[in-house]
Amino acid sequence: DTGVSQDPRHKITKRGQNVTFRCDPISEHNRLYWYRQTLGQGPEFLTYFQNEAQLEKSRLLSDRFSAERPKGSFSTLEIQRTEQGDSAMYLCASSEGLAAYEQYFGPGTRLTVT
Amino acid sequence: KNQVEQSPQSLIILEGKNCTLQCNYTVSPFSNLRWYKQDTGRGPVSLTIMTFSENTKSNGRYTATLDADTKQSSLHITASQLSDSASYICVVRSGGYNKLIFGAGTRLAVHP
């Protein structure tokens, strides 16, 4: 399967714990995006990378959130000291080239904070 | 404020029937408009992408229209199938680095 993959698919954690999600984009896609989606809503932009450079962060990305893409391939999204409001689906997408025309989404990681 | 609004919020139709979903946007600058299908618990999958100059685009039983003057788009589904049950999300691209603005989606349920 050469699509975008995310791991884990589901994560249940207790409030206050740290969690880390991983995204593997489509090979050779130089742009990678993270989104958060709550129930009944469309995805909201969190941050994006071009290669290893993090070029934009949404104001939704509080200090407890950090994203990395150290080698310009896979990316991780870490949430520290999780809160119940962090419960959501975290989606990763990737796109290729300077035109960055089409974003391909992964299946998402569903986080539940109890 | 850049916004994408969709209607209806939810829709139930019988298998074989047609339906039309609506999208209104106030996004500037406008680059293109996309419709995505999202199955429950899965990531969105692109159905169509339309640029400013395109009025209609089809993808099988899905036909999207775009009126850039009124900033409205529609997605028409013909001869619905049970597998069409999903959320349909209207997404507008704004700017040059592929920033996407998502609507809340229309949840479609196709019943036998």
- Confidence band, pLDDT 50/70/90 cuts, at residue A7: very high
Contact A43, A64 (CB under 8 A): no
- Confidence band, pLDDT 50/70/90 cuts, at residue B47: very high
Residue keyed to tokens 């990681």: A109
What's the CA gap between B99 and B108, in Å, rounded? Answer: 26
Sign of the C-alpha dihedral computed for residues A66, A21, A49 and A101 taken in this order: negative
- Over 70: is that where the pLDDT of B98 sits? no
Structure confidence at residue B77 (pLDDT)? 97
> Is B44's CB within 8 Å of A91's CB?
yes
A27 class by beta-carbon count within 10 Å (0-12 exposed, 13-18 middle, 19+ buried): exposed
Taking contacts as CB-CB distances below 8 angstroms, the residues of chain B near A40 are 104-105, 107
Higher pLDDT, B108 or A28: B108
Shortest alpha-carbon distance between residue B112 and chain A (Å)? 24
- Over 70: is that where the pLDDT of B103 sits? yes
Structure confidence at residue A109 (pLDDT)? 97
Asked if A26 has any chain B CB less than 8 Å from its own CB, the reply is: no
Q: Per-residue pLDDT tens for A39-89?
A: 889 999 899 899 999 988 888 888 999 999 998 899 999 999 999 999 999
> Is A103's CB within 8 Å of B100's CB?
yes
- Non-local (6+) Cβ contacts of A66 within 8 A are A77, A78, A80
Q: Per-residue pLDDT tens for B58-93?
A: 999 999 999 999 999 999 999 999 999 999 999 998
Taking contacts as CB-CB distances below 8 angstroms, the residues of chain B near A31 are 98
- Confidence band, pLDDT 50/70/90 cuts, at residue A1: low
- What percent of chain A is modeled with pLDDT above 90? 73
